[in-house]
Amino acid sequence: MIRWKILRLSINSLLGAILFWSCSDKKTDSGRDIFLEFSERKEIFLGFSGLSSDYLQSLSWRNRSSGLIYNYVNHSFDSLFFENDSLIIKSGVQMKFDGPGSVPRFYSFFSMSDSILIFSGKELIIKSSLSSQTQKFHLREFSIFDPENPFQNIAYSPFFPIECNYYDANSNRAYFFIQDSRNKIFDLVWYDVSENEFQKVPLELENEEINQMILEVDLGKTKMAPNLSPELFVHLDKVIITYPFKSEFLVYDIRKNDIQRFFPKTFGFPARIEAPLEIKNEVSFNEALELIKNENMKGRFGSFSFLEEEEIFFRMIKGRSQGEVKNFDLYLEVFNQEFEKIGEQNLSDLNPDLDRRYFLVNDKIAFVAKDQPDEDVMYFYYLNIRRSK
């Protein structure tokens, strides 16, 4: 049983909201206590960089205080340097859309020692960090993909973290999902950067259940559906796979080629999102938008992240939206290294200004604020999670 105690709470000023809980069940976490502490609202001047809080969508750290972020507006890789609460932004060189060395818009990349690995739909791009030199490979060039099948795409779906958390630097491999949009099948694959090869992971995903949860709206010449692809997180020799519509998750052990399933109990939100109603008839574009909006109002389970100092996994859950899509409660789940759930908290009760997007800085969680009144400034909050020793 989890017991909650509020030690000090200043919601109005949002100064140092601290929450404490203890686990009386020693089997789950040896009886150690966990503390949550929010900072006051922080701000970072983005001004002349071209970055915007609306377009923070892809970030890759070199370490926990410096990294690269994709500047969607300028189409460049900008360098980020965090020092305490200050952020230094160094604008990168704008990339070309056409011609030699060009790079299309993308959502996923990994920063490596001397190059950047970019995934864009059907292409894999290796860009030098020191020059404009690029190498491009189409999926059909690799043996595990069918060269006659144009429907295979790299699936990208992180809903909460803006970091790319599925590259393993130790093995120099990137893990991600390939979706066949024709038969709606997802496969987990890895790409070996050193060998320039793909391999399929011998894991059967719950594709039938995924398809049952996706509302596909018929517009006549085209179809529209919300993105409900599974998500993943790579940590050491483990790949953690989550589904956006249920609390259950899988842990794939890379070395042992073994799969474990976990079914954590939930308290403040349902363990499963309700399935959509089947829409058999063709609808108008506006009707389709309304149907998709209603689906997006539902709750959603996020992918995992890991805090090194405290040696804990965590993930975010979006509660069902009320009235507007952005009006929802944000929940935190905490797990130990054996993936036993050791805590759950409605973070919106402590700070109602939290957006769903977050990233890690020096083992702290930085949440983007919902309220962003100045387009040249990004407002955010730090959340510290600490365990008693």
pLDDT band for position 220 (cuts 50, 70, 90)? low
Is the pLDDT assigned to residue 151 strictly greater than 90?
no
Q: What is the pLDDT of residues 312-369, one digit of tens each?
A: 999 999 999 888 878 899 999 999 999 999 999 999 999 999 999 998 888 899 999 9
Better-predicted residue by pLDDT, 207 or 22: 207
Q: Which fold has domain 2-387?
A: Neuraminidase (2.120.10)
Write phi, then psi, for 100 (nearest 5 degrees): -60, 135
Q: Is 103 helix (H, G, I), strand (E, B) or coil?
A: coil
User: By the 8 A CB rule, do 194 and 182 touch?
Assistant: no
Write out pLDDT tens, residues 153-202.
Answer: 888 667 888 887 788 888 888 898 988 888 888 999 999 988 999 999 98
Contacts of 152 (CB under 8 A, 6+ apart): 122, 139, 145, 146, 178, 179, 180, 181
DSSP result, 218-255: E-SS-EE------EEEEETTEEEEE-TTBS-EEEEETT
Determine the Cα–Cα distance for residues 342 and 262; give it in Å rounded to an integer.
13
87, 44 contact by CB (below 8 A):
yes
Distant-in-sequence, close-in-space partners of 268: CB < 8 Å, separation ≥ 6: 319, 329, 331, 344, 346
Q: Bigger pLDDT: 124 or 165?
A: 124
**Look-up: residue for tokens 């969607």?**
72
**How much is the pLDDT for 25?**
33
pTM score of the predicted model: 0.85
* Tokens 């990137």 found at: 174
